[in-house]
Amino acid sequence: MMRISRGLFLLLFLAFLGCVSQSDLATIQRDTNNNTKELLALQRNLYDFSTDLKTLNSKIDALGKKNEGLHQEITALAAETRAKISNVEKEMETSTQPMRRYQADLGARLDKLQMEVQNLMGRFEESKYFAQKTFGETKNLKETYQGKIDELDKRLVALNKNLEDWEKKLAALEREKESKEAKKEETEEGKPSATPTAPTKEEPTAKPTKTPEKEKVVASPEESYKKAYDQFTKGDTEGAKSGFKKFLEVYPKSKFAENAHYWLGECYFAEKKFEEAILEFDEVIKKYPKGNKVPDALFRQGIAFLEMKDTINAKLILKEVVKRFPKSDQANRARKKLKEIG
C-alpha cells in the first residue's frame, strides 16, 4: 500500500511538473499494476492464512476438549484403581487371617508340646533315679521271692501228704464202694503229689476247698502273659486285650508288665482305636523309660497320630524316635516315614 501510494504521488508530482515523459508514465503504470497484483496476492495469502488459523484454533479447541475428557477418564480410572486396590487389600487381609490364626495355634501347640517334652524329661530323670536306686535291691528281692517260692513248695508237699492221708481215711470209711471207683478217686487225688512246684495247664488240679495254694501257682505271671500273647498272634485281639488287662490287674509289677502294656496298645491299634493305642503306648514310655519296648511304643505312637491325620504330632513323635534312638531299627523306619510325609 505504501509503495502504491508513493508511485501515485510520484506520478502526480511529475505530471504536475510537466517533465515526465510518456515512457516513464507507462513504466510507472506497469510498476503500479505489478504492485497491485502483489497486493492482491498478499491479501489472498492473508485470507488463506486467516482461514488456516481459524481451522487450527478449531482443532486446538477440539483437542483441548478431548484432553479434558481424557483427563476425566484418567481421574475416573485412578479412582477405580484405588478402589480395586483397596478391595484387594481387604481380601488379602481376610485371606491371611486364617493363616495367622493357624500360625498362632501352631505356636501354642508347639509350646505345649515343648512343656510336655520337658515334663517327660523330668519324669525320665526321676525314673532313672528310682531305677538306679532299686537296681541294687533287685538281687535281694529275687532271693526273697525265691525263698517264698521254696516255702510254698514245701507247704504244697505237706498239703499233698495230708491229702493222701485223708484219702486213705476216706477209703477205709467207704469200703462198701466198688474198688474201681476207689481206684479212680485215688488216681485223681494222688496226681498232684507228682508235681509239687508248678503244675501246667493240662494237669488236673486239686479241689478248691482242699488246695487253694495250687490254684495260685497255676495262674503264674508267665503263663497268664503267654496265653494273652498267643491269642494276639492268632488274631483274637478281643481275647488278647481282655487277657492283657487281667494280667496287668493281677501282676502290675511283673517283668512282663511292660510288654503287656505294649501289646495291649497293639490290640487297640489293630481295632483302629488309635487314641486308646496312643495312651497305652504312653504308659510304656512313662512307666518303663529304659525298657526295651520304648522305641517301638514311641514309633507306634507316631504311626497312630498319622492314621488320625494329625501329621504335626506324627512328625514330632517320629523325630523324637530319631533323636532318642538314632541307631535303632525304629529310627530307620521313622526316617523313611518322615520322607513319605514330606
Per-residue model confidence as pLDDT tens digits over 280-302: 999 999 999 999 999 999 999 99
Q: What is the pTM of this model?
A: 0.39
Distance CA 297, CA 280 (A): 9
Q: 149 pLDDT exceeds 90?
A: no
In a domain? residue 238: yes
Q: What is the mean pLDDT of residues 235-245?
A: 95
pLDDT attached to residue 193: 37
State the burial class of residue 104 (Cβ atoms within 10 Å of its Cβ: 0-12, 13-18, 19+): exposed
Same domain, 226 and 193: no
In a domain? residue 123: no
Same domain, 157 and 64: no
pLDDT band, residue 210 (cuts 50/70/90): very low
Same domain, 224 and 261: yes
Residue 183's domain spans which residues?
138-198
Residues 3-56: tens digit of each pLDDT: 555 665 666 665 555 555 677 778 878 888 888 888 888 888 888 878 888 888
User: How many domains are there within the chain?
Assistant: 3
In a domain? residue 60: yes
Q: 122 pLDDT exceeds 80?
A: no
Q: Would you call 203 helix, strand, or coil by DSSP?
A: coil
pLDDT attached to residue 206: 39
Same domain, 240 and 309: yes
pLDDT attached to residue 146: 64
Same domain, 281 and 329: yes
pLDDT attached to residue 258: 95
Sign of the torsion formed by the C-alpha atoms of 319, 321, 325 and 327:
negative
Same domain, 299 and 194: no
Same domain, 150 and 227: no
Enter the C-alpha cell of residue 341.
510325609
In a domain? residue 85: yes
Q: 167 pLDDT exceeds 80?
A: no
pLDDT band, residue 187 (cuts 50/70/90): low
User: Please, what's the b/e burial string for 200-234 (b: 16 or more CB within 10 A of its CB; e: otherwise)?
Assistant: eeeeeebeeeebeebeebeeebeebbebbbebbee
Q: 165 pLDDT exceeds 70?
A: no
Same domain, 308 and 248: yes
pLDDT attached to residue 298: 96
